[in-house]
Amino acid sequence: MSKDIVQIFDTTLRDGEQVPGCKLDTTQKLVIAERLEVMGVDIIEAGFPISSPGDFNSVNEIAKLVKNATVCGLTRAVKKDIEVAAEALKPAARPRIHTGIGTSDSHIKHKFNSDRSKIIERAVAAVSHAKNFVDDVEFYAEDAGRTNNEFLAQVCEAVIKAGATVLNIPDTTGYCLPYEYGEKIKFLKENVKGIEKAILSCHCHNDLGLATANSIAGVINGARQIECTINGIGERAGNTSLEEVVMVMRQHPNLNLDTNINSKLLYSTSQMVSQKMGMPVQPNKAIVGSNAFAHSSGIHQDGVIKNRETYEIINPEDVGVNESSIVLTARSGRAALAYRAKKVGYELTKLQLDEVYQEFLKYADRKKEVVDNDIHEIIASSKVNIESLT
């Protein structure tokens, strides 16, 4: 059975770039946009054109550069925003305007001092205006995660009638539980007239560490686009991490879902974005962290050396990491020491390994991690005759 493709909408250059102190200039954004396109991202959200002349310029330059992916610009449900975004997107082969408004009672009351019917009017007016410039209009219902489902369905129905091609259902505050977010998407699929004319999109924030789980719950329930960022960067605790959702779908064939992403470029893209933004990737970050394929306890090392799959569910090469690493610490066992010693040129017999291992433990207790150079020193100071080693 052929798999359904979930579109990957990358917002590293817009929502991701909202991280304090991580601003990118146009040249850096162009390099990242080029890489996102090569990696197979379907939609690149290039920026928020009305927010500053610099952002306008970045969106405009990315629109000129990108050939296959859709290039998208964010707006509020404000005429001027939409006109400026349309202008910035003019050179794009596939332009998309992403417009929207807050739909939760809290946003309606505190942000807009308005009411539900006026919010629907503004949403429809924004989509209709954007349709004067581009065919592809995505509508976001900000704070959809905390929006009443019946009202959300009314908003969706109205903007589809106005021509919206994609409906973004953001869990703006990262509040939803996966089953709730999944039910929300299911509710919209089942209750919005005309829903077959639009794609439902998941845009989840990570305030409770649930962005990936919520996005996956969304696609299981019928959404066909995920909005995400490289390394999960973004406001506060960040957005859904691109590499995580891509690999969840790849590693779970039963979902019958896939993306157009070349996963072998995930690691190098993560490194590139981290360096350009000056934002280190946490070592235990799933898929792309430096420890994601590192094994340091004796039991795990022994298992991985015998068969990688005992403790690894992803082949590191599939995400562009050369190989799993066996990290030598005081918790490592003989199997790991023999494995690493062999890599640096020593084939140890069982007796030799016993000798060297005792020396290794003393050394490892003094040092957090034993590296290749240390192995030469450990073998030299053990009672083993180096000449007899191959």
Write out the residues near ligand KIV by the rule CB under 6 A: 15, 140, 142, 168, 170, 172, 203, 205
Q: Nearest distance from residue 225's CB to Zn ion, in Å?
A: 14
Lookup: tokens for 332: 């490592």
Bridging pattern class, strands 199-204 and 166-171: parallel
C-alpha pair distances (Å), 257 with each of 71, 218, 387: 24, 12, 56
Residue 142 binds which of ligand KIV, Zn ion, none (CB < 5-8 A, kind-dependent): ligand KIV
Q: Check binding of 81 to Zn ion (CB under 5 A).
A: no
Q: Of ligand KIV, Zn ion, none, which one sits near residue 140, judging by CB under 5 to 8 A according to partner kind?
A: ligand KIV
**In this complex, which beta carbon is closest to ligand KIV, that of residue 60 or of residue 201?**
201
Report how far residue 73's alpha carbon sits from residue 95's, in angstroms, rounded to the nearest whole number. 8
> Minimum distance between the CB of residue 112 and ligand KIV, rounded to whole angstroms?
15
Q: For Zn ion, which is the closer residue by CB, 61 or 142?
A: 142
Nearer to ligand KIV, 170 or 316 (CB): 170
Regarding beta strands 70-74 and 43-47, do their DSSP bridges make them parallel or antiparallel, or are they unpaired?
Answer: parallel
* Pair type for strands 4-5 and 257-258: parallel
Residue 203 beta carbon to ligand KIV: minimum distance, rounded to whole angstroms: 5
Q: Nearest to Zn ion by Cβ — which residue?
A: 15
CB of residue 240 to ligand KIV, shortest distance in Å? 11
SS3 (DSSP) at 205? strand
- Judged by beta carbon distances under 5 to 8 A according to partner kind, the member of Zn ion, ligand KIV, none in contact with residue 182 is none
Sign, Cα dihedral of 333, 334, 339, 343: positive
In whole angstroms, the minimum distance from the beta carbon of 52 to ligand KIV comes to 16
Contact (Cβ atoms closer than 8 angstroms) between residue 176 and residue 206: no
**Interaction mask 172-201, Zn ion, x per CB under 5 A:** ------------------------------
Nearer to Zn ion (CB atom), residue 17 or residue 61: 17
142 binds Zn ion (CB under 5 A): no
The C-alpha atoms of residue 341 and residue 345 are separated, in whole angstroms, by 6
Dihedral class, residue 259 (left if φ above 0, else alpha if ψ from -120 to 50, else beta): beta
In the complex, least distance from residue 158 CB atom to Zn ion, rounded to whole angstroms: 22
Which of residues 173 and 290 has its CB atom nearest to ligand KIV in the complex?
Answer: 173
Tell me whether residue 15 or residue 55 sits nearer to Zn ion (CB atom).
15
Task: Report, in Å, the least distance between residue 303 CB and ligand KIV.
Answer: 41
Contact 185, 206 (CB under 8 A): no
Give the one entry of ligand KIV, Zn ion, none that residue 168 binds, where binding means its C-beta sits below a cut-off of 5 to 8 angstroms depending on kind: ligand KIV
Contacts of 51 (CB under 8 A, 6+ apart): none
Looking at the Cβ atoms of 140 and 357, the one nearer to ligand KIV is 140
CA distances from 42 to 197, 261, 355 (A): 19, 9, 56
Scanning residues 2 to 31, which ones bind Zn ion (CB under 5 A)?
15
For every residue of 212-274, which 3-state class applies, written as one string?
A: HHHHHHHHHCCCCEEEEEHHHCCCCCCECEHHHHHHHHHHCHHHCEECCCCHHHHHHHHHHHH
Question: Least distance from C-beta 242 to ligand KIV, angstroms?
Answer: 15
Amino acid in the structure at residue 269: T
Of 15 and 83, nearer to Zn ion (C-beta) is: 15
Binding site for Zn ion (CB under 5 A): 15
